[in-house]
């Protein structure tokens, strides 16, 4: 019997949905909290560890002597200590491409919510205020605007497809440039990071968190942007220097920002971004779509079943 442990605290309903999809010969347990002692006890007998947002460090892996597979519930593995996993002979896998459409759709929603003051209007009206002509910033259309996409993998490319009907230029930054035919199909043009920052009305981040991208959007980068531009981050919090972003927003160096990810998660309640009227914030939920659940879990459990049979994880989902 293969024991799977999910480190993220999940509801009984979600646990039941997961167990209903389990391959034969597997059991599943899950965390009920985030404290380190609880997590170490939970993984003591685990064969497979699954994590979405919970950090997996060397100490946690050391508490799981039987574990041979560490699987991301999602795509980005920056919350995993890959060297520690490698040293213990633990294979690391992820569900490549599984959340591309949900995150792209969510990004489009954030862009419109921010540019048209939807979140602000919702909040103020629920507080009993009718502030029709007192919005914190101009309400702007997305149609015809230039959108710069930094990181152009599956999510960025799906966002480009969603943006095409809005009729504005789409710029993208990617380490390996697409072919001319691929660019034409997506209606996107390759550009440098500097050009994207300077030319875009919307700058949307979709790159992984790496040593190269950590802190990439700092005060200097923000000052390159138009004063009428907005920043969207559904990538990783560490890509943006939050203190610099707060200062840029206060100084009106950019028009606004929408953030689904943060430098510290869960977000401390005193984070200034939570209280700014020209900011839309959500708690790292861009990938969560109920009608994408079975597809994602099927991909993850398929990888786990193949690994348990000794077949290994497909190269497309194997990390390192």
Measuring CA to CA, which residue among 82, 102, 109, 104 is closest to residue 93? 82
Q: Following CA atoms 63, 30, 47, 283 in sequence, which dihedral angle do they give, to the nearest 10 degrees? A: -80
Helix (H) or strand (E) holding 232: strand 230-233
CA–CA dist 305, 72 (Å, integer)? 15
Tell me whether residue 250 is exposed, middle or buried, using C-beta atoms within 10 angstroms of its C-beta: 0 to 12, 13 to 18, 19 or more: exposed
Preceding amide of 266 cis, omega within 30: yes
CA–CA dist 240, 205 (Å, integer)? 9
CA–CA dist 209, 68 (Å, integer)? 25
CA–CA dist 191, 159 (Å, integer)? 17
CA–CA dist 186, 271 (Å, integer)? 37
Active site residues: 236, 265, 284
Pairing assessment for the beta strands 48-51 and 230-233 based on DSSP bridges: unpaired
How far apart, in Å, do the first and last CA atoms of the chain sit? 27
Helix (H, G, I), strand (E, B) or coil at 279: strand
């Amino acid at each position: 019997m293969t024991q799977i442990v999910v480190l993220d605290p999940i509801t009984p309903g979600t646990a039941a949905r997961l167990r209903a999809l389990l391959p034969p010969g597997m059991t599943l347990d899950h965390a009920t909290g985030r404290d380190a002692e609880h997590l170490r006890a939970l993984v003591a007998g685990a064969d497979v560890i699954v994590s979405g947002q919970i950090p997996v460090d060397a100490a946690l892996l050391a508490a799981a002597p039987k574990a041979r597979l560490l699987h991301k519930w999602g795509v980005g593995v920056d919350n995993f200590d890959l060297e520690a996993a490698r040293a213990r002979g633990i294979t690391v896998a992820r569900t490549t491409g599984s959340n591309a459409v949900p995150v792209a759709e969510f990004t489009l929603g954030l862009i419109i919510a921010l540019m048209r003051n939807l979140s602000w209007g919702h909040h103020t009206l629920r507080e009993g205020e009718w502030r029709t002509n007192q919005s914190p910033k101009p309400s702007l259309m997305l149609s015809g605007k230039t959108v710069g996409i930094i990181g152009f993998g599956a999510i960025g490319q799906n966002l480009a497809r969603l943006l095409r009907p809005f009729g504005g230029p789409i710029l993208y930054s990617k380490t390996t440039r697409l072919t001319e035919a691929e660019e034409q199909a997506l209606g996107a043009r390759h550009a440098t990071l500097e050009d994207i920052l300077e030319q875009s009305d919307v700058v949307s981040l979709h790159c992984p968190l790496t040593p190269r991208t950590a802190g990439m959007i700092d005060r200097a980068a923000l000052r390159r942007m138009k004063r009428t531009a907005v920043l969207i981050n559904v990538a990783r919090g560490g890509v943006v220097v939050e203190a610099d972003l707060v200062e840029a927003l206060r100084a009106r160096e950019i028009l606004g920002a929408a953030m689904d990810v943060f430098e510290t998660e869960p977000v401390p309640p005193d984070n200034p971004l939570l209280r700014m009227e020209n900011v839309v914030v959500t708690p790292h939920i861009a990938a969560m779509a109920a009608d994408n659940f079975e597809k994602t879990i099927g991909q993850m459990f398929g990888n786990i079943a193949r690994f348990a049979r000794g077949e290994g994880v497909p190269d497309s989902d194997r990390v390192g």
